[in-house]
Structure 1
């Protein structure tokens, strides 16, 4: 069982940002999507989520596309965006209840799953708070909790560690490992390569909308002709001459 992306072209206004993207992530794997800003990472994530329709190619979760069954596909994916998306008029508890409704999970089940996460992220006393009272880090933790209480088989995460304190980063990293051990596929973008190195089973190196390398660290080294390079050095090698991202 896997997330499978094949022959994918995707972008905006019929102009492809992504060109012939092919990869598979098995359920239970953690994969890091690495590249400069503007490489096409967000476009890829949005296409997997169904927010962008592929111009060509297919995105399948366990053999099913969003066109096959939109509702079932959507229930299999959870998303943690770079910038938290919360509703000012809803409390933390109401966000959890809305998540339960969206994924067709009993509210009692979601609240039971959320309880240890709320305690871990020190939000268990804030269920009646509105987002206007939350710091950016607290908002990010709410997004994390809402994603992790679902039954999603694929977690899509865009720069998950921005705004989180070191303790929260450690806890979140442990949660992602735990979720992968339970059979969830995790795909995330990050510029924090030290965390990616410790967390990821494999990597996707994206540049100018094309995958220039993919695999575990040894495979990436072979593909880029640098058998002794660290992950940081491989990233620098890929992005040399392109400025900062």
Structure 2
């Protein structure tokens, strides 16, 4: 089973609420080093944490990260972008491009860049943070990009399994971070989410359904489209 003990972890979006919890929990589980990446890295009060500049939308930045962190054994694709409005037709071109580049192309290209390094390790892990909204298309381009990442994760899992790379996909609804500050819906505590994810990793699981919302949406994927989106029935009534 994969273990965090002695691992060398790279976390994207490490300055945010979820990313910060990944940094701390990985160390608590015995990681020997954590690369805490962000576009503008912050200072950390632990010599085991290495701040590293990384913009997942910039190929040169990705290559620089690979060169600086060639000893990584656990890659956590956590960085993400969201949109203020839900309608995919009302998003600006910039919002669409930012979400596609940050939520889908960024983690895909970063994983491609680190794949040779991870494949050369006896035991390595990739964790991709999807969303419950990857299964529920009410968040416009955000849902679309998270759905694309879910599909890419399934492909990566199959392609990297022969090399011994364990690929984990994470689905969760609202998390109590700045990104979800606009809603009063129930939210998962970031520390609870990260604990659930890393417990699943160490148990050898491939997919994490971190809350009731994710469980319900996954269970409903086989339902008729009108059951998933009752507003379609209401429109045609």
Question: How high is the TM-score relative to the length of structure 2?
Answer: 0.35
Q: Report which of the two has the higher share of helix.
A: 2
Question: Greater relative contact order (Cα 8 A, min sep 6): structure 1 or 2?
Answer: 1
Q: Report which of the two has the higher share of strand.
A: 1
Question: How high is the TM-score relative to the length of structure 1?
Answer: 0.35
